Amino acid sequence: MRPEERLIIVTGTNRGIGLAVGRQLAQQGYRVLLTSRDEAKGQAAAASLRHATPHVFYHPLDVTSQESIARLRDFVGREFGRADALVNNAAVCLDDGRDVLDVEMDIFRTTIETNVFGPLLLCQAFIPLMREQKYGRVVNVSSGAGQIANMVHGKPSYRMSKIALNGLTLMLAYSVRGTNVLVNAACPGWVHTDMGGPAAPRSPEQGADGIVWLATLPDGGPSGGFFRDRKPIPW
């Protein structure tokens, strides 16, 4: 199947790494469905990519809302009838500089709702379609902050959310084994975005590269892995 026949859904594309992922996929000729919780910002971002390719689409999505996810699922079914890849990029980091003993529960709740339940609900919405198609790629955008192998302190709710997202990645990969649906986690590295901050050495385009690679893996590619710069890293 040619790239322009595929549909790739990316969450949190109004800025940062998500927008760079959308741009690179569009440049490779894929049909890209951009999403954001703020429609005006998301539409503006989509418009900024359309000069390069006609295959850029947009729909609002708040990953913390089941109703919003159901509306996206209906839209995709009606307009495209397929979903070839899902990039779970949208996330929050609300507790930079905080210690695990001090963080309020509402910060933990919002972070887990956004960074874990959001991707889980989106997978529940779209993986059944991928299974039917016998083709699907899921990329959970994780972080080195979630690596048990290197666990330190700071950003406790963010770290816990990425540990959970990594566990979810492994469970999903097991659940869909043998179906040509490949599920992986990606760390983009430390990237200069609103979340990464101005001192980060990587551009959003550099951070997006490994995510785009996983979203477009050939049949027989890896599943149930954690990657940075297209190379496996420890959980």
Ligand X SMILES: NC(=O)c1ccc[n+]([C@@H]2O[C@H](COP(=O)([O-])OP(=O)(O)OC[C@H]3O[C@@H](n4cnc5c(N)ncnc54)[C@H](OP(=O)(O)O)[C@@H]3O)[C@@H](O)[C@H]2O)c1
Catalytic positions are 158
- Phi first, then psi, for residue 165 (nearest 5°) are -65, -40
For residues 175-187, one letter each, b for 16 or more C-beta atoms within 10 angstroms of the residue's C-beta and e for the rest, the string is: ebeebbbbbbbbb
Q: Tell me the CA end-to-end span of the chain in Å, nearest whole number.
A: 33
196 belongs to the binding site for ligand X (CB under 6 A): yes
- Phi first, then psi, for residue 59 (nearest 5°) are -150, 140
Q: Which stretch binds ligand X (CB under 6 A): 14-22, 51-59, 176-184, 214-222?
A: 14-22
| Chain residue at closest Cβ approach to ligand X | 16
119 belongs to the binding site for ligand X (CB under 6 A): no
Select from 17, 26, 76, 214 the one that contacts ligand X (CB under 6 A). 17
Select from 33, 116, 123, 141 the one that contacts ligand X (CB under 6 A). 141
- To ligand X, the closest distance from the beta carbon of 30 in angstroms equals 19
User: Which residues, numbered 168-187, are part of the site for ligand X (CB under 6 A)?
Assistant: 187
Cross-sheet strand order for the sheet of 56-60: 56-60, 31-36, 7-10, 85-88, 136-141, 181-186, 226-228, 231-232
- To ligand X, the closest distance from the beta carbon of 2 in angstroms equals 28
- To ligand X, the closest distance from the beta carbon of 193 in angstroms equals 3
Task: Provide the 3-class DSSP secondary structure of residue 192.
Answer: coil
CA distance 235 to 143: 10
Quickly tell me which residue has 């299974």 as its tokens: 131
Select from 8, 76, 92, 164 the one that contacts ligand X (CB under 6 A). 92
CA distance 197 to 200: 6
Nearer to ligand X, 39 or 80 (CB): 39
User: Which residues, numbered 45-84, are part of the site for ligand X (CB under 6 A)?
Assistant: 61-64
Contact residues toward ligand X (CB under 6 A) are: 11-12, 14-18, 36-38, 61-64, 89-92, 114, 141, 143, 187-188, 190-191, 193-196, 200
